[in-house]
Each structure stands twice: as C-alpha cells, then as structure tokens.
Amino acid sequence: MGENKLAPHVEDVARALGSKLSEEEIESELKEYIEVYKLTIPMAKKTMVKKHGGDASAFTTGFQRKLAELRPNEPNVDFVARVVTANDKTIEAKGEKRRIMYGLLGDDTTTLPYTVWEPEGMQLEKGDVVSVKGAYTREYRGRVEVHFGNRVTVRREDPATIDASDVAQGPPKVVTINQIRDSMGYIEVKARVLSVEPKDVTVQGEEKTIYTGTMADQTGRIQFTAWSDFHLKPGELVKISKATAKSWRSIPQVNFDDRAELLRVKEKFPTAEELSRTSIVPISDVAQRGGAADVSVRGTIVEVRDGSGLIMRCQECKRALQKGTCKVHGRVEGYPDLRIKAVIDDGTGSVSTVFGREITEKLMGFTLDECMDKARQAMNFDAVKDSLDEALLFRIVDIGGNVTADAYGLSMIAKEAELVTPDSKEDIETLLVDLEETK
Ligand SMILES: [Zn+2]
C-alpha cells in the first residue's frame, strides 16, 4: 500500500477524530489494521474511529454504502453488513437442482433480504460481518433485495465491526397472516389466539418454558411460539409488534420474545369460532406462502398415483413393500394397509397429497377388509387401484392439513378430506353433452 494512496484516508480519520491522534499515529495504526489484521480500508477506518471515539459519518472518501441507501435494480453495489440470518434451500432451475442461500443482512440503517446464487466457496454464517463488492439489487414486494451473483466478492471482517445490537431493525412490517414469510425481519401482526399451551424445552443447556399455539385472522391461521410468558389465553385478540417469522419444515411460523410489544386489543374482529371454521384458500396462495399450516383447499383429483390402493407394509419400519420386499429389511411378511397418493388441482395450482387408511376408506366407501376380499377374489392387488381410479378421478374434494413446499412442489399430509359433489364425473359428462348440443 503506497503512502500517498493512504493519505486521503488518514485525513479522513484525522477529521473524524479531531485532535485525538497525530497523522503519523493514525497512519501507522491504519497500516497495522490493513496489513496485519487484513481489514479493508473502510473497515480499518471505521474500526479506528470506533476505538478512539470519533464520528465516522465525517468520512468523505466512502467506498461503501449503507443498506438503507440501496435502490432496486442497481447492477453493482458495495457494502459492509452483518449476516443476521443464513438459510440453505434447494431449488430447481432449468431442470437442475441447486443449493442457494438466503436470509437477512443488516447494518445500522436497516435490514435487507439477500440471496446467494452460488454459495460454493461463499458460505455465509449467521453473525459474520462481510464486506461485499459487486452485488446487485432487485425489488420484491416493495422491498429491496440484495443478490450475490457470479461477480461478487465477499470478505469476512472482524465481527465486532457491526455488533448484533448495532443492526437496525427498522419499523416492523405490518402484515396479515397470509403475508407472513420466512426471514422478513420484524413484523407486526394482529390476530386472535385460538390455542396456547406451555412446553418445557432445553435451550443451550437451560430449562425454559415456552408457549406455543395457533392464532388466526381473516386471512389464515399460523403457529406461534412465545419465548416469554405473555399470559396468553385462548380467545384473546392481540397485536404483536417486533415478532419475527421463521419457517419450520417449510411452514412459516411466528416467534416473539420479551423484545416484542404485545397489546391486548378490543375491537370488532371475527370470533375464535368463526376463525376456527375452515376457510378454503387458493392453492396459488399456499404456494406463494411457501407452505402453510392447517389450511384447506378445494380442487379436482386429477391423478391417482401408482402406489395407491391396497399396499403391504413392513412390520418393523412400516415402509410400503415393493413386491414383498422392504428397502431396509428385505423380504418380509408385511401387513396390509390402504392409502391414496393423489394430485389435487384447483386451477390456480396443484398439490400432491397422501391420504391414510381412514380417509381412503371414507372416500372409497370400502373398508380395508373389504378391499382384501376384493383383491383375493380378483387375485390381484391392483384391483383396488382400479376401483380407486373409477371412484375418485375427476371428483372434487376438500382437503385440509399442513402443506410443505420443496423443489417438487407442494405436498399436503391430509388430516381431513371430503368429496364435495356426489359424482362430478356425471356432471362433467352432462356438461360435455350440453356443450356438444349447443355447438
Ligand atoms: Zn422394513
């Protein structure tokens, strides 16, 4: 590092520190940070000013910008930020599966979501302070997002440069339950508590009581975890500010602790009973949310997949047997079971689902024993699959349960299912005839 190259920065620091240090002292200390501690120049300057108690905003030779200054669609941005959250996700792009990282970055002005498109060699960890060059920005739902593309360089800095407590959270984003997504920073949500129960957990070796439950507004229901005791009771209408959202098995949940502000609200709002009643949501909504807890969708059964019907399961691990063979335990006796693997489509999207024995019996109108008889008579296990196709294909069904999302799309473990129309195939045939006749 040439002397004259450093000169403007020495002046900068001198300005920020007033007469606390001589220029010689500043220069040698800056050099030490840069050469010995391998800090970038801006970091070295900032660290020095912080250490000696000056005003870093006096810097004129700035390289980097604050996160709050970033605008959408900037092709090339440099900044220093703390990694507030770091998550992994596998996505499918152009038919190939790839791993990306996403989360929140923060500095003392704001927090912004980020995505790292090629995390190999650029693994970010929560708590890292990084100086980033050559990132770009986009806008999503009115918020600037930072993207790490293939031109970006990332350098780790001393984590003390931006302490966790220095990270500005900004005003919480006011959201309804269907808008809640993973890692969106502080949120404010108004909802009615439907259920709550204490749970004893161990957090970092410490016994702790947390409170988990469900809350709801007109747009949906969501699981929550309160990490401190707010004396929540079922039926209460609350406004929670400075909560955060985190996904668990791809379903967003609300978390809050004693940093959150919780107000009991008295106003006109649907009752717990009204909110508990199932309301049907479009599948595209669930897809946008990246999964959801306890939702109901109404759609047409467009596919009854192979592996549906009468199956045999391994006594030991309950896996479905393939030709009398368990993947883990080899050739085993097995016991019979019923299931349906189906695809439901509502015109806005589709969801794969698996119905267990109870629901399968109800939808099909046959018990497991009756199915066994049927299979024995036909001497064919697939006989049941055929009658499933017959009974269910193109029928309209309401299903409820938790929906998760992954690279293959949405899947629901159905807790309940009900056929809506007596037999929509007849309806469809009638409709087709009608169409023929009106031609
Ligand atoms: Zn097994």
* Percentage of the residues of the chain whose pLDDT score is greater than 90: 38
Ligand 1 centroid to Cα of residue 316, in Å, is 5
Residue 199: what pLDDT? 93
Pick the CATH number of 283-427 from 2.60.40.3080, 3.40.50.1100, 3.40.30.10, 2.40.50.140: 2.40.50.140
The tens digit of pLDDT for each residue in 267-294 reads 999 999 888 776 788 898 888 888 888 8
**Ligand 1 midpoint to CA 338 (Å):** 17
Q: Which tens digit of pLDDT belongs to each residue from 368-394?
A: 999 998 888 887 877 888 888 888 988
CA of 331 to the centre of ligand 1 (A): 9
The one-letter amino acid code at 23 reads E
Cα of 372 to ligand 1 centre, how many Å? 21
- Cα 362 to ligand 1 centroid, rounded to whole Å: 27
Band (pLDDT 50/70/90 cuts) for residue 63 is low
Q: pLDDT at position 60, please?
A: 45
CA of 381 to the centre of ligand 1 (A): 20
Please list the alpha-helical segments (H only) found in 172-231: none
Percent of the chain at pLDDT > 70 equals: 90
CA-atom Rg of the chain in angstroms: 29
Cα 317 to ligand 1 centroid, rounded to whole Å:
4
Report helix, strand and coil shares of the chain as percent, to nearest 5: 25, 40, 35
Query: For residue 24, what are the contacts with CB-CB under 8 A and spacing of at least 6?
Result: none
* CATH code given to domain 173-276: 2.40.50.140
pLDDT band at 357 (very low <50, low <70, confident <90, very high): very high
State yes or no: pLDDT of 401 exceeds 80: yes
Residue 273 confidence (pLDDT) = 86
Place 438 in a pLDDT band, splitting at 50, 70 and 90: very low
**Residues 145 and 113 sit within 8 Å (Cβ to Cβ):** yes
Q: 355 CA distance to ligand 1 centroid (A)?
A: 21
How many angstroms separate the alpha carbon of residue 376 from the centre of ligand 1?
24
pLDDT of 58: 54
- Helix (DSSP H) and strand (DSSP E) numbers for the chain: 9, 21
- Range in 35-49, 79-93, 107-121, 396-410 with the lowest mean pLDDT: 35-49
- Does 173-276 match 67-166 at the fold level? yes
Ligand 1: centre distance to CA 358 (Å):
22
Distance 319 CA to ligand 1 centre (A): 6
Cβ neighbours of residue 143 under 8 Å, at least 6 residues apart?
A: 112, 113
341 Cα: distance to centroid of ligand 1 (angstroms): 20
What DSSP string runs through 358-396? Answer: HHHHHHHT--HHHHHHHHHHHT-THHHHHHHHHHHTT-E
Q: What is the DSSP letter of 172?
A: P
Biggest CA–CA distance in the chain, Å, is 99
**CATH class name, domain 67-166:** mainly beta
CA of 336 relative to ligand 1 center, distance in Å: 14
The rounded Å distance from CA 382 to ligand 1 centre is: 22
- Asked if pLDDT for residue 338 goes beyond 60, the answer is yes
CA of 411 to the centre of ligand 1 (A): 24
Domain boundaries, the chain: 3-58, 67-166, 173-276, 283-427
Rounded Cα–Cα distance for residues 135 and 368 (Å): 58
- CA of residue 328 to ligand 1 center, whole Å: 5
pLDDT above 60 for 436: no
Q: What is the whole-number distance in angstroms between the Cα of residue 389 and the centre of ligand 1?
A: 28
pLDDT at position 61 is 44
d(CA 291, CA 161): 37
Token pair for 362: 């109800």
